[in-house]
Each structure stands twice: as C-alpha cells, then as structure tokens.
Structure 1
Amino acid sequence: MKYTQKKFETHDFLRIRDFLKHSRKSSPDLKNWFIDRWNFCRYWGQIMHNTFEMWPETVGIWEDEHKEIVAVVAWKAVIYEAIKRVKDKGAERIFVGSGQPFYLSMGFSLAYSKEVWQKRTSLFNAD
C-alpha cells in the first residue's frame, strides 16, 4: 500500500474529525486526539493565539491510494505552542536538538553543530 502526504485544505477539517472518531472507536487504546481537542486547536486555540491563517500549513495529512486518511499530524502547532510558553516565561532564545528542515521553515537557524565520534567495541583488545 502506498501513502502520500498532502496539504491541509478547508474541506479536510471534517474528514479529519471523522478519521479521529473512527480511529478512536476502532482502536481505543491508541493515544490520539478526541474531537473536542481537534475543534479547540483549530478554532478557539488559533484565534486566541492569532495563528488562524497560518494553522493549515502546520497540519500534515497522509492518505492511501483511495484518498482515505491514514494519519494526521499537527506538528508545527505543538512547536509553536512550546515557543509561546517559553517566550511568555522570558526566554530570549530557543534551541532545538535537530537539523530537520521543518525547523528551518519555521525561522530557526543553525546556532552550532557538533561532531560525534564512535569506535567499534570489536576493535578493543580484551586485555
């Protein structure tokens, strides 16, 4: 089965609600969002933080070849919320321990990098 990522579009909001409802019902042990959190995140939370217009670009949707949703991630929303919280507490700089491209797309820049060295244990003598 092949999966593809697509950008969030307005009509996807209800599709994702249905996906959350059905996945919760069929797999109650999974730790996915309830519908009320999905509603809050899109409407109340984004209006409150003045991020309503940019919110759609923070949602990743994966579909199968039949255009059925198989996964949803609101990854940037989590990072933006974390940034807001530490900024509210007085932080002037924020560091992340990753060089993933989505951090660059959010305005992060490389502060420094480090080299990690390794040695295989099979090269050590048992003495």
Structure 2
Amino acid sequence: MVHVVDVHVGKRIRQRRWLTGMTQQRLAELVGIKFQQIQKYETGANRVSASRLWDIADALDVPVPFFFEGLKEDKADGAASIDGLPADLMADKEAMELVRSYYAIPENQRRRLFELARVLSDVA
C-alpha cells in the first residue's frame, strides 16, 4: 500500500527535478541508479531511503527537509483550492513550464513581466 508521505516526497522530487529542467535519466545518473527507480520514487510506489534521499537532494541542490515541506497540508483533507488556484498547483505540468520559463527570463525583463501580469490580473 502506498503511504501518503512517500507520495508527497515523490511529488517534491518530481517538482524540483522539473523546475531545474532535469530529466529522470539525468537524475538517475547523478544518483547512480536506473531511471525506472526515479519513476517509482516520484509516484510513491517505492520508498526513498534516507541515504538515497540525501543523494537526490545533493543532485537537485536542495536541503533534505525540502522534500517534506507542505506535508501537513498535503495530508489534511482540506480545501481543494486556495484563492481559485488548484491546491496542488505545482503538480500541473503547464504551471511548472510557466514557472521554469519565467525564471529563464533575464531579471530586469522578468520584473517587468511580473508587473504586467499583476496589472492584467487586477483588470480581469
């Protein structure tokens, strides 16, 4: 049976990997395992050992506690949305692509784009 903590950790691995633009294959190479194992971790089908999580955190350049952030909220049977946004926004592939593209823009242009988005959202 899949445990909610394993699913949450897997989601966080996938989110961080996606934000960095890293493939499952590349992450697996950095950690020294097969990409199929990364797939199983990301779905929560397999548990990630402490030492493997340490290696994954190193490969993704985040501290180990990153993978547990938001766990209490994820376990709660709370609201499906917050301010009209899906509760699991970072699981949305389109949202992840948008975030990654946003951070690929040079900072001065990114600020201007951010201000434009704020103005447009106030009008809507």
- TM-score, with length taken from structure 1: 0.27
- Higher strand share goes to which structure? 1
Larger radius of gyration: 1
1 or 2 for the larger relative contact order (CA 8 Å, sep ≥6)?
2
User: Normalized per residue, which structure has more helix?
Assistant: 2
